[in-house]
Chains A and B, each alone.
Chain A
């Protein structure tokens, strides 16, 4: 069975500073990895995904994530945070064998302070 861990419930960062939201995963096989963002009273919005190929994946709103197979990690990053990036971020994993459902982490609340 696959699982995802987001070790930080909350991440605080000053506007303009780089941000990192951490994610580690566990699967028996090759993973599909995803990041989603949730703004207040909204559904989850897709940010980016890793399927195969280049370990650095670029996504929406200037976000990127780095897949590290040896550390089983898929951390979300952004070089310069904006106040509007403040939201709840979810990491998710599914298996590379087809459309298995996404298994989500518990989420990390990002607060960007002006």
Chain B
């Protein structure tokens, strides 16, 4: 398996524009997580899905952020409108249900810069 695949790797956009980040989890994994990494806040969980259903979105910072998982092999994180303070590295991760505790596998991340 190629691992968790995120696109794009880098995104530069102007303030006010819509940004869509994409993620393909590892095949067979039933959990998908979106994290954001900044110098100030470290790694923050934004939202996670189980079997394509959002379980907890309490980490989504504002209504400008939304996430979807239309099927088991694809998820998007959308920011509309984007603001400079959204600049960060966004990671997608996936794992599978395992009673012994399953580690999450991370994608390479999308570095978002909003100017």
Contact = CB atoms under 8 A, between A and B. Distances in A.
A31 to B, nearest CB: 9
Contacts of B31: 99
Given A43-B91, A44-B91, A51-B100, A103 B45 contact: yes
Interface in A69-114: 90, 94, 96, 98-99, 101-107
A25 interface: no
A101 B95 CA distance: 10
A75 B105 CA distance: 21
B70 interface: no
**For the side of the interface on A, what is the size category?**
20 to 34
Contacts of B45: 101-103
A22 interface: no
Interface residues of B, number: 26
Contact of A94 (B91, B97, B101, B109): B101
Contact of B48 (A32, A46, A98, A101): A101
A96 B101 contact: yes
Given A99-B95, A99-B97, A99-B98, A43 B106 contact: yes
Interface string A36-69: 1000001111100101000000000000000000
B42 A105 contact: yes
Contacts of A104: 35, 42-43
Interface in B95-115: 95, 97-109
A46 B42 contact: no
Contact of B101 (A32, A42, A44, A105): A32
Nearest to B31: A99
Nearest 7 Cβ contacts at the A-B interface: A43-B106, A32-B101, A106-B42, A104-B43, A44-B106, A51-B101, A46-B103
Interface of A: 32, 34, 36, 42-46, 49, 51, 90, 94, 96, 98-99, 101-107
